[in-house]
Amino acid sequence: MRGGPIVLLGLAAPALANALVLEKRDSPAVLTVPVIQTRGVSNSRQVSKRSSTFDVDFNSNEMSPYLYTDQWWLNFTLGTPGVNFEGYLDTLSNGIWVFEQYNIYCRNFTICGDKYGYNSTKSDTSKVLDEVFKYDYSGIPLEGTLVTDVLSIGDTKLKSIKFAVLEERDSWNNSTENTFGIGLGNASTSSLPQALVDAGAINSAAVSLWNGTALFGGVNKAKYEGDLHTFDIVQGNSSLKSLRINMDGISINGSSIASDEFPVATNFDISSTWSYVPKSVAQALNAKIGATNAPDMYGMVNFSCNAVPNDTTIAFTFGDLDLEFDLSLFISRGDLFSVKPWIDLDTEGIYNDLCFLQIVENTGFEGGGGILGSNIITQIYSVFDLDNEQVSLAKRNENDDAADDIVEISSGKDGVPGAKKDSDSAGTRVGGNMSMTAFVAATAMLIIAF
């Protein structure tokens, strides 16, 4: 793992809630900001490393392996004079919130800022609003005060951004982190993408994600192959909108997984290390690869590493799009419930032949629907459009050294010329050389190696 930059493609024009158009410019505006990603569980089992680019330590959460999560962190400052903080990007919410000074949730002073939390009385540019912030964050009740102040991310300064300052609660179970929501929801603050649009930093609330990289306001055409397929967001089992589309199938070596669950409403969650599917899909998937043991309480099934040939492939189907990978990308070695994940399992002979699939049964979230975690999101090219509530997907170009071909995403009516309905879904397919409708989970640009 290593730190990397966030890249924001900026335009001064106001945003329009219409379809998005890709526009080639000779000198697109680019702003860079340092970003860090920490990962709780990885195929390499490397949990704590020092960045080769930024002199920072990565810390994992010591908790149940089921709860290990990826964290995509960015550095930012709040107020005047500015106070340094760290916050993470979140695709499951659209809110922005930070800790108040000395909040009991501050697990260490780095997360809480160099002044141990935000204090509006110490900022010359803060304004406390006569509004109360209340938000149900996946079952975690958050409460606080709404404030406006100056926010700086790298060279980008937002002169008056509205965010919540979280107050103390009675239980650590209600804790969260400084958060920049880049998804959909009903928070009473703007998402980070919308805040960037309102400040004129980018033209449209849209972002591309690929291989641990996020690009605000643009698409890098050199980083995907073939066509971008565009799909409408679906409702799913939750009453709240989120970055969720239908998955139409999964196959192993070209043979489809038999399940009546498809299509499965599937969320994009960059903070989840693994991916999750409904029970019947998980059962059929495990049977297909010869994992016959009973699942544990977390839906995980252990199996012999020799049970799966090295050339086995897995494909995820969305409409007409099949995204195919080596299955080995989603297999980890070792029993994480018997061995702490930071131990070098190669030296633990007893566990050398014990593997598990990182696509497991969803035991509760979203009513048991699907979740695309970072292990899949980093392998594909996706574009999120919050304004139009759409997502576009393509096969990622595995040549990471391909020269950038970045184009801005501009607002415009009927911005997808030549797009045609995908025959198998409500989405549309966009040719690689055409304009496209994008789907935003807005994050600026992260460059992270796994």
Amino acid 220 reads N
Determine the average pLDDT of the residues in 95-124: 77
What is the residue whose two structure tokens read 């920072």? 56
- What pLDDT does 393 receive? 92
Q: Hey, what are 176's tokens?
A: 């969260």
Compute CA distances 68 → 21, 271, 374, whole Å. 38, 9, 12
Residue 98 has pLDDT above 50, yes or no: yes
When the pLDDT of each residue in the chain is averaged and rounded to a whole number, the result is 71
pLDDT above 70 coverage of the chain, percent: 64
Domains of the chain: 4-216 (2.40.70.10), 232-376 (2.40.70.10)
- What pLDDT does 38 receive? 55
Which pLDDT tens digit goes with each residue over 348-397?
A: 444 557 888 999 998 776 567 899 998 899 899 988 888 888 888 999 99
Higher pLDDT, 111 or 92: 92
Confidence of residue 78 (pLDDT cuts 50, 70, 90): very high
Lowest mean pLDDT among 20-34, 156-170, 239-253, 319-333: 20-34
Determine the average pLDDT of the residues in 53-68: 29
Residue 150 has pLDDT above 50, yes or no: yes
Lowest mean pLDDT among 196-205, 241-250, 276-285, 333-342: 333-342
pTM of the model: 0.77
Nearest CA to 166 out of 85, 242, 91 is that of 85
Confidence of residue 431 (pLDDT cuts 50, 70, 90): very low
d(CA 234, CA 92): 14
Confidence of residue 440 (pLDDT cuts 50, 70, 90): very low
Compute CA distances 88 → 356, 375, 420, whole Å. 28, 18, 37
Residue 30 has pLDDT above 70, yes or no: no
Q: Is 389 exposed, middle or buried (0-12, 13-18, 19+ CB in 10 A)?
A: middle
Determine the average pLDDT of the residues in 271-294: 90
Residue 138 has pLDDT above 60, yes or no: yes
Lowest mean pLDDT among 20-34, 220-234, 248-262, 384-398: 20-34
Determine the average pLDDT of the residues in 9-19: 37
Residue 426 has pLDDT above 60, yes or no: no
Confidence of residue 105 (pLDDT cuts 50, 70, 90): low
Compute CA distances 91 → 69, 71, 156, 200, 209, whole Å. 13, 11, 21, 22, 11
Nearby residues of 347 by Cβ (< 8 Å), 6 or more positions away = none
